[in-house]
Every structure is written in structure tokens, then in C-alpha cells.
A = this chain, B = another copy of it.
């Protein structure tokens, strides 16, 4: 016999609507949502309640918004004007086996969860989520590359920095669209993989010798790598798209001074494919709950 799981989803943005839809399909998952009062019950299709209505001590999982909490525990509620705070006191009411999901986690959330003895799972830190999310990220990057240039990706010289979870997806798809792709990495095996993929691989140290012929430069490295000497030789029509999280890897000020268009493109999955992004989260949450249950021998 399968046991039911009680899940509370507290706050969230458009992606969460799809995640809710995804999770609702499971027969053994019972969902309550808080912080969606701008939407009517029929739209979300699940039980919309207030914080006080939750039977906290019976929850198997709590899902907080992608950004987690701010440093006082307040959360983002796109579809509500309520101010909702996640406190230590509240966390301590959760049963021991309960799991808390968020996208990322700050010190406040991490420390309070630990003190309450509750397992915290920042979804965005997982390798599988990062790779799944690279798919909408790439499509957003492609959209920007088409919108912000007056030439085709096909036939253009594209530099991709970093062959990590996002970089590998970016490099392979720009190549598939007919670009000549050059991948800059700091380690030898990524250079080897780039070459195996039919791309040109080079060591990051030589970046500034590749930028003079570059039409589009896409950065995924979370470190200051697109510096003034890298930007200086670029052509006037070149475009820089920086995907790395704040503060990004580009000297935006210098690019601006040189008249090179540089865009810090963040949060692409939510922007170009909220539904897919929500499905990814739903799928992974479900999987984690299933494993968690198996671990507990249920």
C-alpha cells in the first residue's frame, strides 16, 4: 500500500503553476497551496489555504519559492499580496522526516532548517536540475542572439566560455544551428571534449586571441573572464551574452565604453519556458520524495 504524502507549496511564480499541475497528477500526493490568492481556485486546481490552515505537523514536504527566503525569512509571492515569513518556530513544528525544497538557499534558511533538524534541498544546486534547466537557458540565449544581431547565427563565429552544465548545452546547440563554435575552457579534458564534439577547443588563457573574429560571445563561467583585454579587440557588431549569475563574468562597463553590446541575461528558463521549467521542478520533486520514502522503508 502506498502512503499519501502531504505537500504544502508556499509562494512561487509562474513556474510553480506548472509544477502544481504536474504534482497533482500523482494520486498519492495531496497538495495545499499558500500565497496564490490572486488566482481563483479553479485555475490552480488545488486546495488554496492560509498559513494558519496548514496542519504543519502532518506535512511530508514543504516547497518554498525558487529564491528561497530573504535574510529575515520572508518569501516571494507572485500571486498574492500577503507577507509570508518562514520562522524557526514554524520549522520546528514540522515532523522530522519532512523535507523542504527551495531553488537556492541563503544562510537564514540553511541555518534555521538545520536548527529545526529538517532536511533542506536547494533544487538549483542539483546537477540534474542544472542540466535540465540548461535546455530552456539555451533557447533563451538563442532567442537573444537572433533578436540582438542583424546577422544569422548560421555561419557566425561564436565563442562559448565554460563547458559545464550550461556551456555544453549552449555549445552543442549553437553548433547545430550552423555556427562555428569555439569553446574556451581551463582544463584539458574539456578541450578534448570540445574537439570530440566537432568544435574548436582552446585554453581560456588564449581567449583574447580568439575575440577579434568573434561575432557572438556567450559566457557561462561564474568568474571575471571577459575582461577589458578580451573585449578590446572585438568587432563593433559583436554581441556579448553573459549567462553567469550575478555579478556575471563580464566587464560590462568597459564593453559599454567600447560600444560593444553586452547583455546580462538572467533567469532565462522562467522567461522563455515557464511551463517547461515548472515541469522540470515537478519531476525532480516527485523523484526526490519517492527516494526519500524508499529510504524510510515506506
Contact = CB atoms under 8 A, between A and B. Distances in A.
Interface string A146-183: 11011111110000000001001100110011100000
B139 A153 contact: yes
Given A192-B131, A196-B169, A276 B151 contact: yes
Interface stretch (A27-35, A72-80, A255-263, A267-275): A267-275
A204 interface: no
Contacts of A165: 189
Contacts of A177: 139, 142, 173, 176-177
A119 interface: no
A119 B8 CA distance: 58
Contacts of A172: 197
Interface in A232-262: 237
Contact of A143 (B134, B143, B275): B143
A212 interface: no
Contacts of A273: 146, 149-152
Number of copies of chain A assembled together: 4
A261 to B, nearest CB: 14
A15 to B, nearest CB: 9
Question: Which of A135, A140, A142, A149 neighbours the largest number of chain B CB atoms within 10 Å of its CB?
Answer: A135
B136 A152 contact: yes
A135 B154 contact: yes
A132 interface: yes
B154 A139 contact: yes
A45 interface: no
A126 B187 CA distance: 12
A217 to B, nearest CB: 18
A144 to B, nearest CB: 9
A193 interface: yes
A128 interface: yes
Given A128-B192, A143-B143, 15 more contacts: A126-B188, A132-B196, A135-B178, A139-B152, A142-B177, A149-B273, A150-B273, A150-B274, A150-B276, A151-B275, A152-B276, A154-B196, A155-B276, A169-B196, A176-B177
Which 9 pairs across A and B sit closest by C-beta, in order of nearness? A127-B189, A176-B176, A131-B192, A128-B192, A128-B188, A150-B275, A143-B146, A152-B276, A151-B275
14 contacts: A127-B188, A127-B189, A128-B189, A134-B196, A135-B155, A136-B152, A138-B154, A142-B177, A147-B272, A150-B273, A150-B275, A168-B193, A173-B176, A178-B196
